[in-house]
Structures are given as structure tokens and as C-alpha cells.
Amino acid sequence: MTDPLDTAPLPPDAVARLRALDVCAVSDALDTLGLPGATTGLAPMWPSSGTVAGRVRTVRAAPRTSDGPATHIASPAVAAARPDDVIVIDNHGRTDVSCWGGLLAEAAVAAGIAGVVVDGACRDVPECADLGLPLFAGAAVPVSARGRIVQEDMDVPVRIRGVRVSAGDLVAADRNGVVFVPAAHAGRVIALAERIAAREAAMSGAVRAGRSIVDVMHDSQFPTVTAEEIP
């Protein structure tokens, strides 16, 4: 079976370039290009440093409907993942039950997974922190997934806080939040975000050099990068 991450049309250096940016610059680039991708309500569960970036591997959760043995949610996705993948779990924003925990984190780190994003709740946050696994979610709760929710599907399109996300897309996350970059637009989004970050750095340098913030932030100074400038 073909891995959907092998067919996503990404620039070969996309993950490394995205990791060098902050999420705000990526969000601004998406805005400028008129693309959805920025989410609200997802935050780091522990203060990991830098920007987490990688290719999305999706998991869709659903309530358990049978009493028989079931594969634990997200375990097939972790088993299939490769370095620089980010596990993205759509639990429809539920915060009454966890869909990520410590044993999954152990396996994720062993597989080289870059991070985890949960539209819902997680648990075992201290274990994830001790392992150095970046974890973003809507909440942390102690309630186990066992007997409550199962993995309905993986590597299929999901919705995370209203944003459509597919396996093979890119995700970037830091203490500002989480943004998704559609694979088909990754090159333009990253190039524009790099231009935006360079502009912000020039503005910051001007403020440190003593220029008035009113002057620096005036529309006539440091012109805004436009979508038309990015091929």
C-alpha cells in the first residue's frame, strides 16, 4: 500500500525551512494567500522550545461501540510513522477523555516522531515532557481512552478546529499555537513566511537602533510582502 506521505507534493527542504520559522509568520503567510490553516484553542501542554514542524499523519477518533477487544487509538499511526512525522488526532474537540498518553509517547519518541497535536484532550503530560516529545492539545485530563474511544481511521482527511487537514500536509506549532499548511501550497507559504520573517527582523532592528515604533510600524515603512511577489 502506498504511504500518502510519499505522494504529497512537498519541496524536499520544506520541513527544515518550516522549523526555522515561528508560527506567527506562517499564519501571516496563510492569511496573505487567502488560505485557511491557523487554529485557535490548541496550546502546548509543556513549554517545549522552538518550532515543531513535520508532515501530518492523521488519526480520526470515534466513540467505542462494541465490547470486544480493540486496537488502542493512535497506535497504528505511531507504528506506521517515520521521523519528522507529526501525529494529528481529530477527537472532535472532546475534552472529557484522553486520546494520547505515556505509552504512545514512548513509542513515538522511538520512531522519531516530531510531535503530537490533539484536537481534544491528552494525559501523561509529565511523561511527554520527560521524553522531550512536544504535545499540543485542547486540554489535559486523567480519563483513559480505553473502553471509551477508538481509532476510526488514519491517514484520511480530518478537521482540526474547523481546518481541513490531510495526511502529507505540513504542520507547525510553537507557544503561539498550531497552523497547518496544505501540501499543494507549501512552497509558496514557506517562501512568503520567510519574507515576512525577514521584514519583521528588519523592523526589530530599526527599533533597537532607536527609531520610533510609530515610524517603524507606519504603512509607509517596511512595505508589506504581497502574494504577487511569491511565484
Domains of the chain: 4-189 (3.50.30.40)
* 116 pLDDT tier (thresholds 50, 70, 90): very high
pLDDT in tens, 9-57: 788 899 999 999 999 999 999 999 999 999 999 999 999 889 999 999 9
pLDDT-based confidence at residue 69 (cuts at 50, 70, 90): low
pLDDT beyond 80 at 75:
yes
Cα separation, 177 vs 36, in Å, equals 14
Distances (CA, A) of 203 to 18, 149, 192, 209: 21, 48, 17, 10
What is the mean pLDDT of the segment spanning 64-87? 88
pLDDT in tens, 143-154: 999 889 989 999
Tabulate helix, strand, coil % of the chain (nearest 5).
35, 25, 40
Cβ contact 180:165 at 8 Å: yes
Indicate the pLDDT class of residue 231, thresholds 50, 70 and 90: low
**pLDDT (average), residues 118-147:** 96
